[in-house]
Structure 1
Amino acid sequence: MEHPEKHSALSVLLVDDDQELCGMMTEFFALAGHRLTFSNNGRDGLAAALNGAHDLVILDVMLPVLNGFEVLKQLRRRKTVPVIMLTARVEAQDRILGLDTGADDYLPKPFDPDELLARIRAVLRRMEFTPSGPQQEVTLGNIRLNTTTREAWSSGELLQLTGMEFDLLEMLVRSAGRVVSREEITAALFEREATPYDRFLDVHISHLRKKLHDGQKLIRTVRGVGYMFTGAE
């Protein structure tokens, strides 16, 4: 394992019952100049996530007392802190369930700590914005985006979008009338290569369509290629 390059210090919570992994990750993050604390069961992890000022939570699926899905469900009722889920399960349904519950990303076990740190930085970069700057608005048909406040409206109604959904909508709106490939979206928003069996993007597209007025028509699937925003409601 290489020592990671140092960046701005982060405060990260790891919820995992593997004590050896927790110890190793604590050392790894310290070498990168970050602070990692951990909890070894779902109940304590949920309390720490609710009470602590963490930049991000790393949450294992298989946990004693409360499993990761239940922890995430309860956490999302009160907090918007970004969450990356860890799973040793290979079933796609488990990953989709995590995304449906509100995870920002997932990483299968075993994982490379350097990849985990890269995923964390990618998630946090997507959430960064500067509200003190001039407002930037993008309008197309009945869709309006404010890229400064990261708010979006559909037919005048304020949408309740996650950070990922806003980024995805902005990318599609700016590319209206052009097919945007899955590879292009994955590289731009997730900062990794798309894989044939990765349902991450499909889940977010589905959520976005449900929140938009006439979303099925606005976001058209081009089979085998990607998606196109039609701009017509």
Structure 2
Amino acid sequence: FDLVILDVGLPDMTGFEVCKTIRQTRSLPVLFLTARSSEVDRVVGLEIGGDDYVVKPFSPRELVARVRAILRRVSSVPLPQNGHDASIPIIIDEVRCQAIYFGTAMNLSRYEFRMLKAFAAHPGRVFSREQLMDHASEEPDASMERTVDTHVKTLRARMRGVREGLDPIVTHRGMGYSLLESWPDA
């Protein structure tokens, strides 16, 4: 998805709660479209991470214009001219769900992408297998801890395919895995 349009008054949970849940894992743009028109609701919606707030009744043309404006802002995040800067070890492009490693776009599974995204957000932090499954899987309780080892092994192989001899994922025996904090000169 490129953007989420949420109503605040949902049956099982509020749109505000849904937005908070989305913000825990993604930076996906959120537009609130709701009948709640009080200033407090508008302010809460924007402060918890909403990108815009439209009150019903609304003009469909205005809604489309607001969606287009949000998407322009999101897609105007500056990238290097060729789209890939080889001097930056890892670029996580959440909009395109793509990881770029030393200028090369990597073809990753969703689990590998989510793990690399967690590593890149916190270089040097040691993640336990359980924490990595929480980041990577929609149903972390249904997955076995050793599944993480397989995904890390595959991720390492893909990264070595781009930069032979460099293993940026560090194993911490009995604890988990981390990403290098400092990179050797490229």
What is the TM-score when the length of structure 2 is the normalising length?
A: 0.47
